[in-house]
A = this chain, B = another copy of it.
Amino acid sequence: MNATAGERTLRIGEVAERVGVTPRTIRYYEELGLLGSAPGRAKGEHRLYGETDVARLRELIRLRDLLGLSLEELVGLVEAEEARAALRDRWHDSRSDAERLRIVEEAIEHVERQLELVRARQRTLAEFAGELEDKLRRLRRRRHELAGGKRG
Contacts and interface: CB of A to CB of B under 8 A. Distances in A.
Nearest to A113: B132
14 contacts: A66-B125, A68-B68, A100-B146, A104-B139, A104-B146, A108-B139, A111-B132, A112-B136, A118-B125, A118-B128, A119-B129, A122-B122, A122-B125, A122-B129
Given A104-B139, A111-B135, A118 B122 contact: no
Interface of A: 62, 65-66, 68, 97, 100-101, 104-105, 107-108, 111-112, 114-115, 118-119, 121-122, 124-126, 128-129, 132-133, 135-136, 139-140, 142-143, 146-147, 152
Contacts of A97: 146, 152
